[in-house]
Every structure is written in structure tokens, then in C-alpha cells.
Amino acid sequence: MFISHSDLTENAKREYFSNGYFIMEEAYSGTLVIKDNVYKINISMGKYPIDNQKNGLKITFD
């Protein structure tokens, strides 16, 4: 998943994305709609690495 730096507040960056990992405290299942595409997603509870890129953050859910 990619999140643009401009979509995050400074507080959110510090609290959720500053330690190199994104922590999912509870599993999540749902759908994500992007333009005309619908994706079913399932993210397990866990610790996921964050790749801090020039324009945003890439979180790898495996």
C-alpha cells in the first residue's frame, strides 16, 4: 500500500509511521475501491515494514 506524505498529518506520521513499522493491532477485512476497480483485502494483525520513499510511504502487507 502506498500513502502519500501529503495525505498524512505530522501527528499521524509521528504516531503511526515513524518507527519503520506499521502496527496492525487488529485484523481487517473489507473492500477497497479505486476508480472503477474493487479489491477485497484481508490484513492480518501484525507488524509490517514501512519503506519511506520520496513521495510517500510504502507499507508491505504479506
In this predicted structure, what is the pLDDT of residue 57?
A: 96
pLDDT along the chain (62 residues), means of 10: 94 92 95 93 96 95 85
pLDDT at 62: 80
Question: What's the start-to-end Cα distance of the chain, in Å?
Answer: 11
Rounded Cα distance, 26 and 43, in Å:
9
pTM of the model: 0.78
